[in-house]
Every structure is written in structure tokens, then in C-alpha cells.
Chains A and B, each alone.
Chain A
Amino acid sequence: MSDEPHPIILTIRSVTKRFAVGDDKVEALAPVDLTIPQGEFICLIGASGCGKSTLLRIIAGFEEPTTGQALIHGRAITGPGSDRGMVFQDYALFPWMTVRENISFGPRQRKLAHGEIQRITNEFVKMVGLERFADRYPSQLSGGMKQRVAIARVLANDANVLLMDEPFGALDALTREQLQHELLQIWSRTGVTAIFVTHSVEEAVLLADRVLVMSAGPGRIESDFRIDLARPRDVSSPEFNALRRGIARRLTSHLAPSRAPA
């Protein structure tokens, strides 16, 4: 990796999103502008209703922006695509497929050669350390294992943008810590661009190159923090805590006014 700035992979250009809720229109996103260089780890953080999940779903292609444009590699996003992989909080694994079959789903859809599918599947089963569980069904796995499968599933499909919507929110503290660690390893090894939605300031500061604080009513990006701490990061260091406090302050300062009109 060189010191030269990485090429821009994602561009969000004055994207807004309005939802119709009954007769009312809810403005989920005010004009949002954002550029994301390749390989960056971004955390989106904010109170519920700040539009962070909406923004993620627009990038995934599950939602269309009301106005504005979302571009990947300079081309407009028109729908879901295998270049962007979403990891859901509730895993969304295919319950009738084994771990191996879930991971090989993307390659199988792309109709790769049988041997190639085998090779890719084995590689990613190994990457997430589930060799012993490869023939189990999702119902026979713990939450942490399920989320490992979900990550492997999108990476096996050559996704170069990893979209994660509070992926570790449903996990216990120990498992979450371990998965954060593994995610960072996978990220640095594969060079994917990661966009990670979270509620936790600590998680954001631990993982991200850049923390985007969003605020509600209508949803917008309030501030953009660079986290220049070296990895692995020490959560008890003064620098870490200073950043955490700074971001937490930004976060809460926008909570009060955003609640008032609602």
C-alpha cells in the first residue's frame, strides 16, 4: 500500500430520501454528500432515525434516492449488485443451506466452474474459521458463527464494498469483541472498503478510519472525524478516550434539538 491517496470508490451526490408514511412524507435524508476512497473503513453513527441505515440501503441498491445520485466507480447505482455486499444484523442467511452452501451461493449464481466454486468456498470457510462447521445449517450455529458466515458469503462473491448494518448488535460482548478483531484482520487482508453502521461510539473509534456522525430530522452527516490511531488500538489509551468523548459529545449535542420537533 502506497501513501498516495486511494481512488474514490463511492460518491454520494446530494442524495435525499423521502418516505411516504400514510399521508405524511418523512424526510429520511436531507441532501447528503460523501466521497469514500477505496479501502477505507467508515463508521456511520447516530441516534435511531438519523438515516444511517437508509444511506446504507441506498448504497446497497435496495432503496433508490428520491433526488441526487449514488455512484460506484463513477457509475450510478441502479440496484443491488455483487460488488456491494450487505451484512445484516439478523444475518439473513439462507436457513436451508449449509454454511458451505451459503458461502458458495454467490459464485454459484455467477455460474463459475465447479472447481473454482470449490476453491473459493474452501478459502472463505477457512478465512472465517468455520472448517469444522462447514456442513452445519444456520439453525445449528451461534450468533457469532452466523455473522462470520454472512461476512464470508459476501466476500466470496468478490464484493469490494462491505456494507454492515449494526452487524454485531445482537451479539454478546465477548463475541462482539472477537468479531471486531476478526473483521479488522479480514479488512486489512482483503483491502475491501467497509461501511459499518453502529450505535456504539467505542466500536466506531475502535474500527474506523473515519467516523461519520449523523443526526436526525432530516437525516444528515453532522461531522466527519478522522481516526488516525495506529492499529491494533488500545481502548484504554488517553488518545482513544479523547476521541470517544469528542464523538460522544457531538452525538448527544444533536440529540436534544432533533427530538424536539418530533
Chain B
Amino acid sequence: MNDHVTTLSEGADRGAPEAAAALRRRNRQRLEMLRALALGVGFPVLLVLIWDRSVAITGTRLIPSPYQVAVMMYDFSFGGVYDDAFSGTILIHIWKSVQRVYGGFFLAALIGIPLGMMIGRIKILRQLLDPTISLLRPIPVTAWLPLSMIFFGLGPNAAIFLVFLGAFYPILLNTIFGVRSVDPRLFEAASMLGCSGTAMFREIILPASLPAIFNGLRIAHGFAWILIVVGEMTGVPTGLGSVVMDGRTLSRTDLVITGMIVIGACGFVTDRIIVAISNRLLKWSPQHLE
């Protein structure tokens, strides 16, 4: 490929070497992308292969083979194989889980971001709330399970509450951190330009702490998907977490793994969406681009 480019640049006019360099750069970029794709996809494929071989060699009946999981996934998505309670129900379960994950996540953002901004800026509020937050934060979300069932009963609200708890602290703490680390010069600059009061929150504090807030949102979003299994342990009939729990009760490991894969895929896809939104909103900040 390179040989071809050199001969072209030698014989041609002044524009050619530049064009050749650009072509070479583009080729290198394409090669780089191909390699990233090959590595990124190749590794999970290798894991599945190891899984398949391990099941075959040990002859275990406790773990299904990748093929069995694939069949289960097909049945879960489209039905027509086992025709049981789970056949073709994937969208209902995803939709229910999405409602709970984002119910809890958006509730956490709705409370966590404004509260974090105020705690970060208002000293009295910080003195009032900081010890309580530090005390409540280390309590594992699973420990709240019994109480949340008493508060909210058996049903989706308990699940939303648990997801909320898990998502709330990363959002709150990152927002406080973001607000506290805004360059004080920016406040001076804004106030000399006639900005004050609530406009300061909207015009300066929010955008300046947005990179930290998005860090918090991304961590919290990951937790929200992690917690959906715990949240749906509270006795809801549908949702990806409940599918995994049902699979466990029924000793259907293929169903458990299928549910795990779908949760992973949902978390992955939605994380990419958050990254895309964050890249768009933070395009002014080169170090936050991925």
C-alpha cells in the first residue's frame, strides 16, 4: 500500500505529497479502528469459546452451554421453542426494568443535583447535612430491602426506592465536589459582569460543575442497572431482575444467564447514550471527551 503511495507522490505535482500523506493518515486511522474492533469483539468471543469448551470437557449439567443460552435467548425474545411463561416476553421485562431503573435514576438526579449544588455553595446547609449523609452513605442498599418493603409494600415502588438510594449518593457527592471546585475567579468574573443570586446558579455553578455532575450521573447510572436485580427481589412479577430471580428459583441457569446478558446489554447501550449526551454538552472541555 505504501509503495503505491510513494510512486504516486514522486511523479505528481506539488499537491500530491499532501494528498498522499492524508491518504496514509486515513489508512492508518482505519487500521487503528479495525484493530480496536477486532480486539474489543475478539475477547468476549474467546471467553464464550472457553465457556463452551469448559462445559463440554467437564460435562457439567449445572451450567448450560453457550448454545443452550442462545436458544433460551431466542425463545425469550421471539418464543416458539419452549412456549412457557418466559417465551417472547423480553420487551415486557425490559420495559418494566427500564421504568424502575430510570424512575430511581431520574429521581436521584432530580434531588441529588439541586441538593448537591446547594450543599456545595451554602455553608449552613453543609454543616446541617454533611454528617447525616456521611452516616447514611456506607449503609449497603441491600440492607434497606426490608425497610423499603415496609415503606412501599411489595411492588415497583420499593424497587424504584432501592435504585434511587444507590444512584443518589454518587450524584450528590460528585455534584458537591463539582460545585466546590469551581474556580472562584469565575464567580468574581460573573459578579462584575452583573450576575448574581439565582442567575449565578444557572449561569455559572451548573455549567462549571457539569463535568463532575456527569461523572456522578454515569457512575450512578451503572449502579442503577446493578441494583435492578436487588430492587426486583422485592416480589415484582416482571422485570429483568425478577427473571433472574425466577430462573434461580426454577433452577433454570440458562434463563439466569439470559437475564444477565440482557441486563448487561441494556446497561451498555444506555451508558453509551449517556456518554454521547455528556460529550455533546461538554464539547467545550477537551479533557472530558472520550
Taking beta carbons and an 8 Å cutoff, which residues of A are in contact with B? 60-62, 79-82, 84-86, 88, 90, 92-97, 105-106, 109-110, 137-139, 153-154, 157
Consensus secondary structure, chain B interface: helix
Cross-chain pairs A/B with CB under 8 angstroms, 9 sampled:
A82-B194, A92-B186, A94-B190, A94-B208, A95-B284, A96-B285, A153-B193, A157-B193, A157-B194
Whether the Cβ atoms of A139 and B185 lie closer than 8 Å is no
Q: Which residues of chain B have C-beta atoms less than 8 A from A97's C-beta?
A: 284
Q: Which residues of chain B have C-beta atoms less than 8 A from A157's C-beta?
A: 193-194
Tell me, in angstroms, the Cα distance from A88 to B289 when the chains sit together. Answer: 27
Whether the Cβ atoms of A96 and B208 lie closer than 8 Å is yes
**Neighbour of A154 across the interface among B190, B192, B203, CB < 8 A:** B192
**Chain B minimum-CB-distance residue to A110:** B194
**Neighbour of B193 across the interface among A88, A106, A139, CB < 8 A:** A106
**Neighbour of A80 across the interface among B185, B191, B199, B204, CB < 8 A:** B191
Whether the Cβ atoms of A60 and B192 lie closer than 8 Å is yes
Q: Which residues of chain B have C-beta atoms less than 8 A from A153's C-beta?
A: 189, 193
Whether the Cβ atoms of A109 and B194 lie closer than 8 Å is yes
Q: Which residues of chain A have C-beta atoms less than 8 A from B210's C-beta?
A: 96
> Contact string, B271-287, partner A, CB cutoff 8 A, digits 1/0?
00000000000111110
Tell me, in angstroms, the Cα distance from A153 to B192 when the chains sit together. Answer: 11
Whether the Cβ atoms of A109 and B183 lie closer than 8 Å is no
Tell me, in angstroms, the Cα distance from A96 to B183 when the chains sit together. Answer: 13
Whether the Cβ atoms of B284 and A84 lie closer than 8 Å is no
> Contact string, B176-191, partner A, CB cutoff 8 A, digits 1/0?
0000000101101111
From residue A45, how far is it (CB to closest CB) to chain B in Å? 23
From residue A97, how far is it (CB to closest CB) to chain B in Å? 8
Q: Which residues of chain B have C-beta atoms less than 8 A from A138's C-beta?
A: 284
Whether the Cβ atoms of B192 and A137 lie closer than 8 Å is no
**Chain B minimum-CB-distance residue to A82:** B194
On chain B, the number of residues with a Cβ less than 8 Å from chain A's Cβ atoms is 22
Tell me, in angstroms, the Cα distance from A81 to B188 when the chains sit together. Answer: 10
**Neighbour of A86 across the interface among B189, B194, B203, B204, CB < 8 A:** B189
Tell me, in angstroms, the Cα distance from A154 to B194 when the chains sit together. Answer: 11
Which residues 204-240 of B have a CB within 8 angstroms of A? 204, 207-208, 210
Whether the Cβ atoms of A81 and B192 lie closer than 8 Å is yes
A61-B192, A109-B199 given; name 19 further pairs at CB < 8 Å: A62-B192, A82-B192, A82-B194, A84-B192, A86-B188, A92-B183, A92-B186, A94-B186, A94-B190, A94-B204, A94-B207, A95-B208, A96-B284, A96-B285, A105-B193, A109-B194, A139-B284, A153-B189, A157-B193
User: Does B195 sit at the interface, judged by CB under 8 A?
Assistant: yes
**Neighbour of B188 across the interface among A62, A95, A106, A110, CB < 8 A:** A62
From residue B117, how far is it (CB to closest CB) to chain A in Å? 16
**Neighbour of A92 across the interface among B188, B195, B283, B286, CB < 8 A:** B188
**Neighbour of B284 across the interface among A82, A88, A90, A137, CB < 8 A:** A137
Tell me, in angstroms, the Cα distance from A62 to B286 when the chains sit together. Answer: 31
From residue B285, how far is it (CB to closest CB) to chain A in Å? 7
Knowing A106-B194, A109-B199, A153-B193 touch, does A80 contact B285 (C-beta < 8 A)?
no
